Amino acid sequence: MKLKLSAIAVAAMLASGASWADMKAAEKWVNDEFQPSTLSKKQQLDEMKWFIDAAAKLKAKGVTEINVVSETIDTHVYESKTMAKAFEEITGIKVKHDIIQEGDVVEKLQTSMQSGKSIYDGWISDSDLIGTHYRYGQIMSLTDYMAGAGKEFTNPGIDLKDFIGTSFTTAPDGKLYQLPDQQFANLYWFRADLFARKDLQEKFKAKYGYALGVPLNWSAYEDIADFFTNDVKTIDGKPIYGHMDYGKKDPSLGWRFTDAWLSMAGSADKGIPNGMPVDEWGIRVADDKCTPVGASVERGGATNSPAAVYALTKYIDWMKKYAPKEATGMTFGEAGPVPAQGQIAQQIFWYTAFTADMTKKGLPVVNADGTPKWRMAPGPNGPYWKPGMQNGYQDVGSWTFFKNGDPNRTAAAWLYAQFVTAKTTSLKKSIQGLTFIRDSDIRSEYFTKNADKYGGLIEFYRSPARVAWTPTGTNVPDYPKLAQLWWKNVAQAVTGEKTPQAAMDNLAKEMDDVMARLQRAGMSHCAPKLNPKESADKWLSDQHAPWKKLANEKPKGETIAYDTLLNAWKAGKVR
């Protein structure tokens, strides 16, 4: 039954500033769009009334329209097309929510930082830039804003403790600089229906001597990739591939590596979230845990270490041996939908942001009852990996605001940021995009009832694993400047222009060069201060990063039954 506002309730709302038209719009959106919710309809309308009253103060100051931007994923499309319209109808403030490629978001952010003038009133920027934002001092501390200038525009029901990703958007000073808007992890994806076939299980065990299951290490992943590509070859008359990836020279090729591929191989130090003092980019920081001192092995970093070179080598080998031949010419966006077409048996580097697209009825990877034929699991580890190291990557797209923006427009953008992450709206947004930010949404009755539709996603996000898979951390002093070096160097190894070792050597040198320039220019906090170059032998060790080359980089493959992994998540374990 739709909630109808009583005359007394309407009168009370009108007396406190909310107009009849605004509340009617709020009632329409709450009834027709923002269901289900973890709030009751009365609580939703009370929250919407607060937004209406807060917006009225800004409209009185002349704010009628704001401009915000985000990358192109389903969650942000829903915000741009539906939630922005709801915000305008309810508050009277129009939102131009641009959707552009992630590389363009980073480029525009960099331009704004260089010019000192923000192009947008609000940005959904990856928390990967937290180290950049902290060091340059141009991004607003939300901790300070909510307690000061933005206090009257901060929703009393924001409930920051309900957000699952705020540890990733907190800088070394302990302050919150970004508000999470969406999160998705990078996990292992596989066709559970194929892995369950008795004939394939028997053939695999006969050849490799262990069970076909979820790979625990890269050796098993490689064996499974070879098995499906070269032994199984076809399923239902169509080719089947044991691996999927992408290799086109494009900014997204950089994310393929900076999104923790090197630490999955085991290149970083132990220490959650990113490895300390050497992180997953190979950047070492000083004893203060903040000052970058180098990326190259000669300065104590690990970007060109044996583990990093191994990670690049395996990426290239697997893509060329076990993936469809078109993969080397694909970008992240082009490769993403391929597993849903039914000819990929497993993928080691798969973003859960694709879950929604993978669950559509009628797809070759979805059963007739709407449940998936596939499952997701923790990614396998490379031979250099040790317990206590970063497990894998998680993207946390987060609301970010420049200090020098127009204060009234910034306040309006902050209202919109809170609107699209509010308890009134967030459960519906989670159902649309499956990129959870609130614990209350993950544990809602809706996702309890529908968990079997999502292939392990709900179990992952209800477990401690949701904070063990982590974004780029604070060791990276300037994400835009350093990130662009990765794809250009990796591409040269993909094409064969350089060996993996030569490509990583050049990448490490270029990273050191950028940090040297940042050192000379200075930064507001923790500018790099490079170590002198010394012999690599001084740094390479079997006790810490950079790790010495292993005598055997392919130990025996190990697998585990999927139900065992799933039960570990249900029992509150990371793995």
Instruction: Please list the rounded mean pLDDT of every run of 10 residues in the chain (575 residues).
Output: 47 52 92 98 97 96 97 94 98 97 91 93 96 95 98 98 96 95 96 98 98 97 98 97 96 92 96 92 96 98 98 98 97 93 97 92 95 96 95 95 97 98 98 96 97 94 90 94 96 97 98 98 96 97 97 97 90 80
Residue listed under structure tokens 């299951």: 213
Instruction: Please give the pLDDT value at position 573.
Output: 81
* Pick from 97, 86, 510, 15: nearest CA to 294: 510
Alpha-carbon span 141 to 219, nearest angstrom = 44
Alpha-carbon span 426 to 446, nearest angstrom = 13
**How many other β-carbons are positioned within 10 Å of the β-carbon of residue 369?**
8
DSSP assignment of 301-331? --TTSHHHHHHHHHHHHHHHHHS-GGGGG--
What the block records as the tokens of 566 is: 């799933």
Instruction: Please give the pLDDT value at position 570.
Output: 85
Instruction: Please give the pLDDT value at position 10.
Output: 47
**How many other β-carbons are positioned within 10 Å of the β-carbon of residue 148?**
9
What the block records as the tokens of 565 is: 């992994």
Alpha-carbon distance values, 567 to 372, 377, 507, 574 (Å)? 18, 11, 41, 11
Helix (H) or strand (E) holding 65: strand 65-71
Instruction: Please give the pLDDT value at position 273.
Output: 87
Instruction: Please give the pLDDT value at position 14.
Output: 46
Per-position b or e across 311-338, b if 16+ CB within 10 A of its CB: bbbbbbebbbebbbeebbebbbeebbeb
515 alpha-carbon distance from chain centroid: 25
Name the amino acid, one letter, at 497.
Answer: E
Per the CB < 8 A criterion, the answer to whether 421 and 396 are in contact is no
Alpha-carbon span 547 to 305, nearest angstrom = 7
Beta strand 559-560 with 238-239: parallel, antiparallel or unpaired? unpaired
Instruction: Please give the pLDDT value at position 566.
Output: 87
* Pick from 275, 273, 281: nearest CA to 467: 273
Alpha-carbon span 530 to 291, nearest angstrom = 9
Alpha-carbon span 575 to 571, nearest angstrom = 10
Per the CB < 8 A criterion, the answer to whether 72 and 101 are in contact is yes
Alpha-carbon distance values, 161 to 154, 158, 166, 429 (Å)? 15, 9, 8, 19
Q: Cβ neighbours of residue 95 under 8 Å, at least 6 residues apart?
A: 65, 66, 67, 68, 84, 87, 88, 416
287 alpha-carbon distance from chain centroid: 28
Beta strand 214-215 with 234-235: parallel, antiparallel or unpaired? unpaired
Question: Bridge-partner residues for 377, per DSSP?
Answer: 188
* Pick from 162, 36, 157, 38: nearest CA to 439: 162
By CB neighbour count within 10 A (0-12 exposed, 13-18 middle, 19+ buried), where does 450 fall?
Answer: middle
Alpha-carbon distance values, 23 to 90, 348, 418, 564 (Å)? 7, 48, 18, 50
